[in-house]
Amino acid sequence: MDKKLISRKKPSFPISGKLQKYLTKYSRNVVMPVFYDDLLRYSGAVEVYDKSGKDTLWIRVYYPEVERNEIDLSLKKIYAILHADGSDESIPFLNVDAIDYCTFGNSKPFRVKIRNILNDNYMYMYIKRADASRVFGLELEHLLSPDRINFLVYKDTLVEEHIQGIPGDVFMNSGYKHFSSRDQKQLSKEFVKFNERCIIRLLGDMRSYNYVIVPTHDFDQVQYRIRAIDFDQQCYEGAFKVYMPQFLKENKLFVDMVGENLQEASINQYKIEERSAISKRIIRVHDRVLALLECMSEDAISTPEKVETLRKDLLEYTKDVKFKKCDSMGALLKVAFDFVVRNYENVNQYVIH
């Protein structure tokens, strides 16, 4: 794929007042005791290496002693809000083991490792600068994917739960040829469905390191799922191919595996299954999806040039003349959802008006 199709640096878009109200209505907008900018005031850092000694491009940050206790307490409170009822009851049993800062990418997140000292179990959460594109992507993931996701927004700070799984590039670089025939076929099926999911909801830049493979043991076999972990490119780019993981060169191993293991009829059947599943989810949370799309339609989360390019691509791809009137990314996504519901579930009464 031509690298020019993906912007090298995507700008961060502010959270609008209407989106803030939406987030408040659905308990996403919660007062938090620490901001992203507070974590930037670290006094020192060291590089973080993986088990093989390779630089991970994360650094472990340290704070002045006078500030560390306050920061730790605030992070524990955020964890309690994200994963529990927000009360202080669990705080004495939590410990902040590490705070890491990512030095590459658009969001430059902090990764916080929280450990329960009673049982030594730990979990991660990410603290980032709030970006409207990412918030829309997270909410759409929660509403329309097979998985739920927790996140919180407060002013210019975004907190996300960690999504567990094996990064797609790490998983596939070990060589899919050693997987059993059954595993290859199931992974191929999941990639087809994941690809279709990204296309329908216009989630872009799903290169192999932006999603994870989640294996689940079920009796005498392993089931696989593919989950997106980066939502920065929700409805931003203009080229429609950016929203098709199959055309990203980093996914070539997956594409090859699909070609070797699935017939065209099976691929088409899995696409229909995924469109049907998404249309049912849209119907089930119709009012909430509509409210979110209204926010997106009023927000500028891309450039007019990219909106125009994507409008033309979607019109050519679907032949749906309703795309001609779209002047925002939210409007494009609304027509795309209407198209899916209308053509694959045949329930016109649920078209989003």
DSSP letters of 96-150? EEEEEEE-SSSS--EEEEEEETTT--EEEEEEEE--HHHHHHHHHHHHHSSS---
* pLDDT score of 183: 92
**Rounded to a whole number, what is the distance in angstroms from the first to the last CA of the chain?**
36
Instruction: State the Cα–Cα distance between residues 32 and 154, nearest whole angstrom.
Output: 6
Tokens 């329960």 belong to 116
Q: What is the pLDDT along the chain (353 residues), one digit of tens a residue?
A: 445 566 667 888 999 999 999 999 999 999 999 999 999 999 999 999 988 888 888 999 999 988 999 999 999 999 999 988 778 888 999 999 999 999 877 789 999 999 999 999 999 999 999 999 999 999 999 999 999 999 999 999 999 999 999 999 999 887 777 889 999 999 999 999 999 999 999 999 999 999 999 999 887 788 999 999 999 999 999 999 999 999 999 999 999 999 999 999 999 999 999 999 999 999 999 999 999 999 999 999 999 999 999 999 999 999 999 999 999 999 999 999 999 998 765 544 545 55
Measured distance CA(84)–CA(211) in Å, rounded: 26
What is the pLDDT, as a whole number, of residue 347?
47
Res 85: pLDDT: 79
Contact 166, 211 (CB under 8 A): no
The residue type of 102 is C
200 alpha carbon, distance to own chain's centre: 14
Q: How far is Cα 343 from Cα 300, in angstroms, rounded to an integer? A: 29
CA 195 to CA 206: how far, in whole Å?
9
Contact status, residue 296 vs residue 330, Cβ threshold 8 Å: yes
SS3 73: helix
Closest CA relative to residue 72, chosen from 104, 114, 108, 109: 114
Contact present, 340 and 332 (Cβ < 8 Å): no
Q: What was the pLDDT predicted at 16?
A: 94
* Torsion of the alpha carbons at 305, 306, 311 and 317, rounded to the nearest 10: 130
Q: What is the pLDDT of residue 255?
A: 96
Reference 234, options 336, 99, 84, 353; nearest CA is 336
> In this structure, what DSSP letter does residue 302 have?
S
Spatial distance between the Cα atoms of 162 and 165, rounded to a whole number of angstroms: 9
- Predicted structure pTM score: 0.92
Which two structure tokens, joined as six digits, stand for 252? 């070539």
CA atoms of 189 and 196, how far apart (whole Å): 11
What pLDDT does 344 receive? Answer: 63
Angle at 52 between CA 47 and CA 56, to 5 degrees: 35
